[in-house]
Structure 1
Amino acid sequence: MPTALITGASRGLGAQIARQLAPTHDLLLGGRPSPELDHLATELDGASTFAVELTDYDEVAAAVETISELDVLVHNAGVGSSLEHVSDTPVEEWHHVLEVNLVAVAELTRLLLPALRQAEGHVVFVNSGAGRSAKPRWAPYAASKFGLRALADSLRAEEPTLRVTSVYPGRIDTDMQRELVAIEGRDYDASQFLRPESVAAAVVHAVETPADAHPQDIVLRPTGRG
């Protein structure tokens, strides 16, 4: 079977992507070492963990040395931001959000390019609606996602043997979403957000698109009919 590496796989959207790819792919489950990651690997019999801190670049470089061929790389790991106005956002917040959401993604992609080229593989970037439109108090997060969009577009132009897909979901019903809504001071209504299973299905659909077609951008918005 083809091999897929999914970052941020221990819970939420990443775990759903892993579950939906498991029947057709050998899985490498990326994430910080945790009981949740180990449990998912046990649940998905035959899956292996890729338990690294993505911003520890020496650790990542060592971990990818054994990967000689990779069919699918799904960049799902990421962090939110503190939802401050630009005037109140400290430089540490900018560094943290951009490091996790953009720089670490670019470095993992760079390190895995030989394995992806070998397989003529597929890179999927789970972006965000914030990667297409920036709103007040979302500047660091939106900047990281606009940067992720640029990374995907450049990679697609530079690597003609690869397929590169950006997925732009609206807000998703996850633990991180609950935290963001609490920061915004609103009541949480899960029906107003996309289900992780629905976004995962879009990712899997892109991966399973026949090789004669190149799915480049997928935009998902919640309907409120969940």
Structure 2
Amino acid sequence: MTAHLITGAGSGIGAAVSARLAERGDELWLLARDAGRARELENRFPVARTIVGDLAAPDKLSWALSHQELPDRLDSLLHIAGVVELGEVGELTPKAWNLQLAANLVAPAELTRLMLPGLRAARGQVIFVNSGAGLHAGAQWAAYAASKHGLKALADALRLEEHDNGVRVTSVYPGRTATPMQVKVHQQEGKEYDASRWIDPESVATTILAALDLPRDAEITDVSVRPGR
């Protein structure tokens, strides 16, 4: 059975991807930040197994995962979770910088390191759900964009390093998507939120599944998804 480890499965793009993979009978391993969140995910996806680890504390992931059952083979590792705190460079505190760099960049790097043996065994795939901010930074997006630019660098380096091991690496750059994170962004921007203006999470999920299901003779390295309205 095809096995996937997914972060951010509780809402938005991560929930859409998890539901699609569960519907087709794939094996799901879902990362939760704590035991309470794990129970929520188990109730939402009864066929899934959960792993507890806090992406906000990447230095503790190795210890946390060493005390839990993990898959021996992993066909895909899907980095979908993320955090955002907008603010001008003149106002952003080290706490805001460190939070976003830890959850959006350092934690994906550490989780990938820990999962590489299983990915190599399955000749699997790592998918980083990045952001349009990972390609272009706007005003008030410095910290978030820096974390996502770093995530692109991580993916590019990993792709070269793991090519001979048969591990494929894909970066997906969604534009604004109708997710709870986007609601928060609009609140921080002081703007009215209208979900109909933005990409449906299902559309991004379709893009991710296309990359996963691509025959082994090809690899999607980078793909941008933009609102069509």
TM-score for both structures, normalised by structure 2 = 0.92
**What's the counterpart of residue 143 of structure 2?**
140
Does 2:105 correspond to 1:113?
no
Q: Deviations over 1:46-101 (max 9, x none)?
A: 211122213232444415663321111000111011x2111111111111110110
- 8 Å Cα contact 1:52-1:59 kept in structure 2: no
- 8 Å Cα contact 2:159-2:167 kept in structure 1: yes
- Correspondences of 1:114-129 after superposition (within 5 Å): 114-129=117-132
**What's the counterpart of residue 176 of structure 1?**
181
Deviation for aligned residue 1:201: 1.1
Q: Residues 43 and 178 (structure 1 numbering): CA distance in 2 closer, same or farther, change over 3 Å?
A: closer
C-alpha RMSD over aligned residues: 1.6
**What's the counterpart of residue 70 of structure 1?**
74
The aligned amino acid for 1:209 is L
SS in 1 for 2:183: helix
**What's the counterpart of residue 167 of structure 1?**
172
With 142-151 and 192-201 compared, the bigger mean Cα shift is at 192-201
CA distance in 2, matches of 1:35, 1:95: 25
CA distance in 1, matches of 2:152, 2:61: 22
**What's the counterpart of residue 30 of structure 2?**
29
With 193-202 and 134-143 compared, the bigger mean Cα shift is at 193-202
**What's the counterpart of residue 15 of structure 2?**
15
Structure 1 stretches of 5 or more lacking a match? Answer: none
- 8 Å Cα contact 2:53-2:61 kept in structure 1: no
Does 2:225 correspond to 1:220?
yes
- 8 Å Cα contact 1:102-1:148 kept in structure 2: yes
Deviation for aligned residue 1:38: 3.0
SS in 2 for 1:188: coil
Structure 2 stretches of 5 or more lacking a match? Answer: none
- 8 Å Cα contact 1:10-1:30 kept in structure 2: no
CA distance in 2, matches of 1:87, 1:213: 44
With 61-70 and 147-156 compared, the bigger mean Cα shift is at 61-70
CA distance in 1, matches of 2:75, 2:40: 24
CA distance in 2, matches of 1:40, 1:90: 32
Deviation for aligned residue 1:39: 4.2
The aligned amino acid for 1:154 is A
**What's the counterpart of residue 96 of structure 1?**
99
CA distance in 1, matches of 2:61, 2:49: 20
Give percent identity, aligned residues only. 46
